[in-house]
Structure formats: structure tokens, C-alpha cells
Amino acid sequence: MGDFLDATWVDGWLREAFTQQAIALEQRPERNINASLREFEYQAHYLNLLELLASQLNVPNITLGSDVQQPAVNVDLILDVGKLPYLRHPGRRSPGGTQRLETQL
């Protein structure tokens, strides 16, 4: 868990969420928030939340393996469209009237 919490994006996300909630819900002064950030209070709250969830939910163990046991499958193309909005039914107006892009493969 330590390596995960040390990831820049995770630490930044936890700091931001903690700061926003400390201001909105507790009206903490900025100097108190800064002291709490230096003491990693935001990580403590996150770990407590995970512990609470783990005690209430049946969370399965997940193992990520780094060794590939099967050979890779050769492919000609990998197309990652991400969150690209596309028309599933060309000619129909999309819900909400938003603009969409037509993707044809």
C-alpha cells in the first residue's frame, strides 16, 4: 500500500480531496490544513476509510502477476478511442443534442 500512496497522482488526489473537505465541512483555517497535510492526516483518513470498507464488505483478494504465462497474440491494429463520442446510429439525433463524431471501421 505504501508504494500506491507514494504515487504522485494518488498523493495529490488525496491532498486535494482532504483540503476541499476540510474547508467545506470543517471550516478549518489554512494554517491548520497545512499542518494536517505535513502530518499526512489525509492519508490516515484514506487508510481508515479502506479499513472500514474492508471490514464491512467481502472484498476478494486480487493478485496482479508481472510474468506473462501465455504468448502474446499478434494483432494488426490496436485502436483506443477512449471517451471519443461516436454515433451508434448515424442519422439519428443524439440525446441532449450534443455534437457527435461518426466513426466507421
pLDDT digits (tens, 9 = 90+) for 23-46: 999 999 999 999 999 999 999 999
Task: Note the pLDDT of residue 94.
Answer: 53
pTM of the shown model:
0.56
pLDDT at 45: 96
CA distance 104 to 2: 45
Q: Which residues contact 33 (CB under 8 A, 6 or more apart)?
A: 18, 19, 22, 23
* Structure-model confidence comparison of residues 67 and 101, the more confident one: 67
Question: Is pLDDT of 105 > 70?
Answer: no
Summary mean pLDDT of the chain: 82
pLDDT digits (tens, 9 = 90+) for 45-80: 999 999 999 899 998 887 777 666 777 788 888 877
- Of 30 and 89, the one with more pLDDT: 30
What is the pLDDT, as a whole number, of residue 86?
Answer: 57
Grid look-up 441532449 returns 96
Pairwise CA distance, residues 23 & 65, whole Å: 41
